[in-house]
Structure 1
Amino acid sequence: MQSKPETAALRMSWLLPNTPFTARLKTTSRTIMTLRRVVTIEDPLSKSTILSDGPIPRSTAFQHVPGFVTSLAWATDAQASVPAAPRDAAANTSSWVPEPGGTCLLVITFPPDSVYQADEFNPEAAGAEHAAVLPGLAERFEPDNPGMHTTDTIDYGVVLEGSIVLELDGGKQIAFGKHDIVVQQGTRHAWRNPGNEPATVLFVLVGAQRRPPG
């Protein structure tokens, strides 16, 4: 077997380490979740009204990672204020990782790990897709430890559908089911989906300052 190229897809894959790429892609019966997003705002007369109502516009179903769907629903910077400007903040956000004091609202559907093991999986094409769709986040993944990454954020996560596993340092794993909640305080981690169905998780990332240890 040829050695694996160090691409963004390999860094970001939720494939368990040392798993061969020879397994066949498993099909899933669960339909990928479609979410409605409603954004409210104050009009020039200081009356509350609707800015937008519909699907999350900045949402991508990956071509080269079947079943992997990422949505950036909203974002704020450190100087967020109200009344807000009448614009789609998600569309104008350059990074999926907020600056200190900023926030990002993400919804991510994780396909089964078997997707990354399929003969059809092209890591180079998937890597390019990850880098293009997830600026600011793709480069946080470790090339030598698939899926492991660290961000200077406080992350609030809620499992909307399916089940998923959080891996921490030392190989410690915690299983999460539907409606379970996780709070991560800048910890190094990876998300694994060893099952046969996709898992959808909502995340709120709050940008933070990382203090020196000790």
Structure 2
Amino acid sequence: MTTTRIVTGHDSSGSSTIISSGSLAGAEEFTHSPGFSAAVVWQTSPVPDIADRPKLSEHPARSVIPAPGGTTALLVTFPPDSLFASPDFDPAAAAGELCERLPGLGELFEADNPGFHRTDSIDYGIVLEGEITLELDQQSHHLRQGDIVVQGGTRHAWRNPGSKPARLLFVLVGANRPERSG
């Protein structure tokens, strides 16, 4: 599915206008993870300025994980898990591609527990299409189109046991992780 990103702003006289409209770069399928896609829709700094016109690029500059107070919007399509059971699936190549296309996030995935990761962010996840399962340390929850998840830096993984892709929009708000005592 092609997604168009429309960005509004102001012209020189202060009138609202469309400053950019076009295909969402980076939304194409990953090469080594068939059916999976993840595109950065937009990122903001910890104290964004409405007048800022960030460079629109396919890849984030340093990390998709925002600094505390910053934000990242991600559009992610999860294919059915069965696609990863193919004998042609190469987990090492898939992990490398994830790190390349989603810097700062790909490195957080656990090698011994595929799919599990934790970010220093508050995440709002909205199921746009399909169904998906959120796995946590001790439980899981099945989500359907229209469901919204709010995660506070929890260790988790996404699983799609169904036969159709699931498409989610995530908004990550960078946060500080408190130090654990004792």
TM-score range, shorter chain: over 0.9
Q: Is 1:135 equivalent to 2:103 in the alignment? A: yes
Distance 1:168 1:92, change over 3 A: closer
For the residue of structure 1 that corresponds to 2:63, the secondary structure is coil
Equivalent runs, 1:121-132 vs 2, <5 Å: 121-132=89-100
Partner amino acid, structure 1, of 2:117: H
**What is the match of residue 62 of structure 1?**
30
**What is the match of residue 150 of structure 1?**
118
The TM-score with structure 2 as length reference comes to: 0.93
Q: Is 1:182 equivalent to 2:169 in the alignment? A: no
C-alpha distance in 2 between matches for 1:76 and 1:64: 29
C-alpha distance in 2 between matches for 1:118 and 1:174: 26
C-alpha distance in 2 between matches for 1:94 and 1:211: 23
For the residue of structure 1 that corresponds to 2:115, the secondary structure is coil
Contact conserved, 2:60 with 2:103, CA < 8 A, in 1?
no
The TM-score with structure 1 as length reference comes to: 0.79
Distance 1:36 1:201, change over 3 A: same
Distance 1:62 1:90, change over 3 A: closer
Q: Which has the higher contact order (CA 8 A, sep 6+)?
A: 1
Q: Which of these two proteins has the greater Rg computed from alpha carbons?
A: 1
Q: Let me know the Cα RMSD of the aligned residues.
A: 1.6
Residue 60 of structure 1: how far off its partner (Å)? 3.3
For the residue of structure 1 that corresponds to 2:98, the secondary structure is helix
Gaps of 5+ in 2: none
**In the alignment, which of 157, 162, 165 is matched to residue 195 of structure 1?**
162
Partner amino acid, structure 2, of 1:157: G
**What is the match of residue 21 of structure 1?**
none
Taking only the aligned residue pairs, the percentage that are identical comes to 49
For the residue of structure 2 that corresponds to 1:139, the secondary structure is helix
**What is the match of residue 52 of structure 1?**
20
Equivalent runs, 1:151-170 vs 2, <5 Å: 151-170=119-138
**What is the match of residue 72 of structure 1?**
40
Contact conserved, 2:40 with 2:60, CA < 8 A, in 1?
no
C-alpha distance in 1 between matches for 2:119 and 2:25: 25
Partner amino acid, structure 2, of 1:155: D
**What is the match of residue 10 of structure 2?**
42
Residue 92 of structure 1: how far off its partner (Å)? 5.2
**In the alignment, which of 44, 52, 56 is matched to residue 88 of structure 1?**
56
Q: Number of matched residues? A: 181
For the residue of structure 2 that corresponds to 1:155, the secondary structure is strand
Contact conserved, 1:74 with 1:90, CA < 8 A, in 2?
no
Gaps of 5+ in 1: 1-32
Partner amino acid, structure 2, of 1:181: I
**What is the match of residue 98 of structure 1?**
66
Residue 65 of structure 1: how far off its partner (Å)? 1.1
For the residue of structure 2 that corresponds to 1:164, the secondary structure is strand
Q: Stretches of 4+ moved more than 6 A in 1?
A: none
Can you list the C-alpha shifts for 1:35-92, whole angstroms capped at 9, x where unaligned?
Answer: 2211001122211111111221232311111100111110001131122236427755
Structure whose residues are more often strand by fraction: 2
Distance 1:95 1:60, change over 3 A: farther
